[in-house]
Amino acid sequence: MAQRFGGKYSPDPREDETGTPQRGAYDGARVEPVGLRANLLFLPPVLLLFFSLGSGAVGLAFGVAGAAVLALAAWLLRGGLRAEAEFKARKVARRPAFPRKMAASVLTGIGAALAVFAFEPGVVAPVLYGLVAGALHLGSFGLDPLRNKGMEGIDTFQQDRVARVVDEGETYLREMTDAVRRAGDRRIEGRVERFQATARDLFRTVEEDPRDLTAARKYLTVYLMGARDATIKFADLYARNRDSRALADYEALLDDLEQNFAARTRAMLLDDRSDLTVEIEVLRDRLQREGVRPK
């Protein structure tokens, strides 16, 4: 099998030449949870609005109302799918505060009922069509997460503090992504994505054990804010004159940040392992004092 040429001065050195494993191009990548099915739900409101134009004043009013409700349902569904994907991606997560997918199902039923009433005034037909549309929507997209995940024994106050800091860090990462796109270099965009995957590893570690927040707080706020500011300045400069020195300096900054974030994550995992070892030893001592002896 052919191998990619690489060396000490190659753009992407290999693990044995840098001492640190290189993340794959798709390591940490996420699939967009809002797929074609959800996006197609914006089509019925448009069609309903179009066909309601020639159905008289009453039909137009109910058609516009039904189109607005269906569009709101499609928009809520997108948010619900993204919230569900975030919930599944984390080991420790709270259920969504507002069940957007289930609300979208209810609104879809109401919108369908209004659409039917615009063309067939009455009670039975709109209600039946509304119930069927809502049930089909719920069957297609399912329920929202209704229970917290991995929250047993976790201080909710500390978890709230972690959530606020992680949200702030995610904001910085999104702003980095928006800024680096202005540079117009797909390779450096991929490099930023690899750093972001390393940063999110630290996010998940802190979420799973909120006691690590104090040690990691400056990484999630100060360092990421500095990385965001550096990315904005680099993108503006590189988009103007393609300065190779600025590119090299920015890549070196990303290397340093990635190594430090990975080291911080490893240190916290080692601390967690040490805590586990202490708990095991304490439990063994208690069993011995109770007279329990292994054969």
The Cα–Cα gap between 126 and 118 comes to: 9
Count of the separate structural domains present in the chain? 2
The Cα–Cα gap between 183 and 240 comes to: 8
Q: Could you say which of 141, 174, 209 is where a domain stops?
A: 141
Per-residue pLDDT at 184:
83
The answer to whether residue 3 is domain-embedded is no
Do 205 and 262 contact (CB within 8 A), yes or no? Answer: no
Query: In this predicted model, what pLDDT tens digit does every residue of 237-251 receive, in sequence order?
Result: 888 888 888 888 888
Do 191 and 235 contact (CB within 8 A), yes or no? Answer: no
Per-residue pLDDT at 165:
84
Same domain flag for 123 and 201: no
Same domain flag for 174 and 275: yes
DSSP 3-state helix, strand, coil percentages of the chain (rounded to 5)? 75, 0, 25
* φ/ψ of residue 91, rounded to 5: -80, -30
Crossing angle for the helix pair 244-289 and 186-208, to the nearest 10 degrees: 20
The answer to whether residue 14 is domain-embedded is no
Do 78 and 34 contact (CB within 8 A), yes or no? Answer: yes
Name the residue with tokens 């914006």.
Answer: 42
Q: Which residues contact 182 (CB under 8 A, 6 or more apart)?
A: 235, 236, 239
The Cα–Cα gap between 53 and 288 comes to: 83
**pLDDT-based confidence at 266, cuts 50/70/90?**
confident
**pLDDT-based confidence at 267, cuts 50/70/90?**
confident
Same domain flag for 223 and 168: yes
Per-residue pLDDT at 136:
94
Residue 120 Rama label (left phi>0; alpha psi -120 to 50; beta): beta
Same domain flag for 77 and 200: no
Name the residue with tokens 């080291």.
Answer: 263
Per-residue pLDDT at 106:
95
The answer to whether residue 204 is domain-embedded is yes
The Cα–Cα gap between 158 and 244 comes to: 44
Do 158 and 213 contact (CB within 8 A), yes or no? Answer: yes
The Cα–Cα gap between 2 and 220 comes to: 40
Q: Which two tokens stand for residue 144?
A: 């929202």
**pLDDT-based confidence at 269, cuts 50/70/90?**
confident
Q: How many CA atoms lie within 13 A of 211 on its CB side?
A: 8
Is the confidence at residue 262, as pLDDT, over 50? Answer: yes
Name the residue with tokens 């509304």.
Answer: 130
Per-residue pLDDT at 75:
94
The answer to whether residue 187 is domain-embedded is yes
The answer to whether residue 166 is domain-embedded is yes
Buried b (16+ CB within 10 A) or exposed e, 199-237: bbbbbebbbbbbebbeebbebbeebbbebbebbbebbee
Per-residue pLDDT at 16:
42
The answer to whether residue 251 is domain-embedded is yes
The average pLDDT across 201-217 equals 78
The answer to whether residue 82 is domain-embedded is yes
Q: State percent of the chain over pLDDT 70.
A: 76
The answer to whether residue 223 is domain-embedded is yes
Q: Could you say which of 110, 141, 172 is where a domain stops?
A: 141
Same domain flag for 212 and 277: yes
Q: Could you say which of 84, 110, 141 is where a domain stops?
A: 141
Same domain flag for 40 and 111: yes
* φ/ψ of residue 291, rounded to 5: 85, 15
Same domain flag for 113 and 167: no
The Cα–Cα gap between 140 and 151 comes to: 29
Name the residue with tokens 């050195």.
Answer: 13
**Hey, which of 13-17, 149-153, 205-209 has the most confident mean pLDDT?**
205-209
The Cα–Cα gap between 173 and 8 comes to: 29
Q: Which two tokens stand for residue 230?
A: 């550096």
* Residue-number span of the structural domain to which 209 is assigned: 156-289
Same domain flag for 61 and 120: yes
**pLDDT-based confidence at 4, cuts 50/70/90?**
very low
Same domain flag for 185 and 268: yes
Same domain flag for 277 and 172: yes
Is the confidence at residue 135, as pLDDT, over 70? Answer: yes
Same domain flag for 97 and 198: no
Query: In this predicted model, what pLDDT tens digit does every residue of 60-113 receive, in sequence order?
Result: 899 999 999 999 999 999 999 988 887 887 766 677 888 999 999 999 999 999
Same domain flag for 189 and 213: yes
pTM for this model (two decimals)? 0.61
